[in-house]
Structure 1
Amino acid sequence: MDQAKAKIDMMPLGIVIRRSPGVTLWAKWAWKAVAVLPGAAPADWRPLREDEGACEFHAATLPLELHRADAEAYMQGLTASPPSVYVVMRTGAGARPELTLVTASPFEAQDYADTGEDQVEKVEMPAGLVAWVRDFTLAHFKEEEFRKRRRDRTRTDLEEDGVGDARIPQMTDVYRAPVKARKERLQ
């Protein structure tokens, strides 16, 4: 199906995770997403390179889904410097983090970051991936014209707050202090 007509488009992205020694006694390892591999085959923590205690893994291959309803978010992400995808990892009780999502939407990434339960890593997009996301976004993005909200012409300054309900009859002026009640207290 033509990308311009598709409501959803998908590409598998390999996620490269770097494991380095932790800097505290409580964390043995520090995990960080460092790269993505567009069109990668499935993987399960395959080591790519090892360097002075740090090791990079092709940890998993996740689908990057683009939805036409999120075209505005993708446009925001493409205008950032550099354009990036976001990898959402959930650190569990095990040694390795669980990779849950990869997204090109900075809005969706912010939602995951706000929970505080997930680790969200920003990873720079390769040039080919930028072109693919840009083509999809331009096919579906429609900039909304700004329309200033007009106020209604109701006069709110004519109402008096604190006077009371007009449906309830008042025996005296509502602004006057209750003289009778004060005299009774003094006697």
Structure 2
Amino acid sequence: MQQPSVCLPLGIVIRRVPGKTRWVRHVWKAVDLLPGAGPAAWKVLREEGEAVEYHAATVTLELWRTDTEAYLSALSARVPSIGVIMSNDPDRPQVLLATASPYETQDYLDSGEELVELVPMPEGLVALIRDFVEEHHTEEAFVKRRRDRERTDRKVDGVGDARIPQLTDVYRSPAGRKAGRLH
């Protein structure tokens, strides 16, 4: 397996605010990133009334040479963001992953099993990813797929798919139905 080109510790700041209903006690939201942060386990950073911000975890942000197209897409967004993927635990979600790839973030959004937050990148992180992309990105030439030269549209034999053995015409009426009788 190929190794990532760049690994950066990335602290994830999560804000907890009271829920609006009796069924949801707290609402958790990833709100900030701390590039180069040390290890943390729910260290309180700030409290304002009932809102509390935690340095919840430090995960490794991995940049891969093969994903530079995705990073370009992230950098060209109106607000370049890191996707933070968290477990769907209402009491205290665990940070599972941070990714700079919007394609990977979309995969987690599609599954619907985890909480996914987009957190704006700090300027230093934008510069790091931009430099990484400039160093490793190579444009891939578009290669149009060519069709086979065999003309399959001229062959009409009524047998259907040759891989499925059939003794008679596939357009026959269903067996067991008699003319004029409907079940």
Match of 1:88 among 85, 88, 103: 85
TM-score if structure 2 supplies the norm length? 0.80
Distance 1:121 1:7 in 2: 23
Aligned-partner Cα distance in 2 for 1:56–1:87: 16
**Aligned pairs, how many?**
161
CA pair 124-151 structure 1, distance change in 2 beyond 3 A: same
Q: Say if 1:112 and 1:157 are closer, same or farther in 2 by CA, change over 3 A.
A: closer
User: Match for residue 125 of structure 1?
Assistant: 121
Match of 2:30 in 1: 33
Which residues in structure 2 correspond to 1:2-17 (within 5 Å)? 7-17=4-14
Q: Specify the structure having the higher radius of gyration (Cα).
A: 1
Please tell me whether the aligned partners of residues 15 and 53 of structure 2 are also in contact (alpha carbons under 8 angstroms): yes
Q: Which residue of 2 aligns with 1:62?
A: 59
Structure 2 counterpart SS, 1:85? strand
* Structure 2: tracts of 5 or more residues without a match: 163-167, 170-183
> Residues 19-44 of structure 1: CA distance to partner in whole angstroms, max 9, x if unpaired?
01112221100000001011112111
- TM-score, length basis structure 1: 0.78
- Measure how far apart 1:7 and its partner are: 4.9
2:21 to 14, 19, 24: 24
- What CA distance in whole angstroms lies between the structure 1 residues aligned with 2:154 and 2:28? 63
Per-residue Cα deviation, 1:133-153 (whole angstroms, up to 9, x for no partner): 111122111111112223333
Instruction: Could you tell me which runs of 5 or more consecutive residues in structure 1 were left unpaired when the two chains were aligned.
Output: 1-5, 175-187
Aligned-pair Cα RMSD in Å: 2.2
- Check if 1:76 corresponds to 2:73: yes
Structure having the higher helix fraction is 1
